[in-house]
Amino acid sequence: QVQLVESGGGLVQPGGSLRLSCAASGFTFSNYAMSWVRQAPGKGLEWVSDINSGGASTYYADPVKGRFTISRDNAKNTLYLQMNSLKPEDTAVYYCAKDPGSTPSHLYDQYDYWGQGTQVTVSS
């Protein structure tokens, strides 16, 4: 069965960095686009970033552009999100999700599998 397991969240001060990982299993990881979506306290889901199956094409939401970097290692079946210059407004539960195709849809209501999420808290 498909499993997505996020890790790497935690408490960090404003301006700090974190690297999230998402270990995938149960499907051919290299065939599918992958995404990161977040949910801040009391708010709805927000698409953050996605990457195509091969890793050559990446996309970012405006609030994180220039600060976050999505990447993947298809040999390790792992998706990453490097988050730099973190701000309090980045505080959220971060989910990785599998797109049903190889090209990112940027639409979180299209994703067919989700991880359990990892908490990121940015606070002094």
Give the SS3 label for residue 6. Answer: strand
Read off the pLDDT of each residue in 32-48 and give the average, rounded to a whole number.
97
Tokens of 42: 């009391």
Nearest one of 66, 62, 113, 108 to 85, comparing CA atoms: 66
Per-residue DSSP letters for 60-118?
E-GGGTTTEEEEEETTTTEEEEEE-S--GGG-EEEEEEE-SSSS----GGG--EE---E
- Predicted confidence at residue 108, as pLDDT, reads 87
Mean pLDDT of the chain: 97
Q: How many residues does the chain have?
A: 124
Checking if the pLDDT of 107 tops 90, the result is no
Q: Residue 9 corresponds to which amino acid? A: G
What would the pLDDT profile of 19-35 be if each residue is shown by its tens digit?
999 999 999 999 999 99
Share above pLDDT 70 across residues of the chain, in percent, rounded to a whole number: 100
Read off the pLDDT of each residue in 8-17 and give the average, rounded to a whole number.
98
Identify the weakest region by mean pLDDT among 46-50, 69-73, 75-79, 102-106. 102-106
- Predicted confidence at residue 105, as pLDDT, reads 87
Read off the pLDDT of each residue in 6-13 and give the average, rounded to a whole number.
97
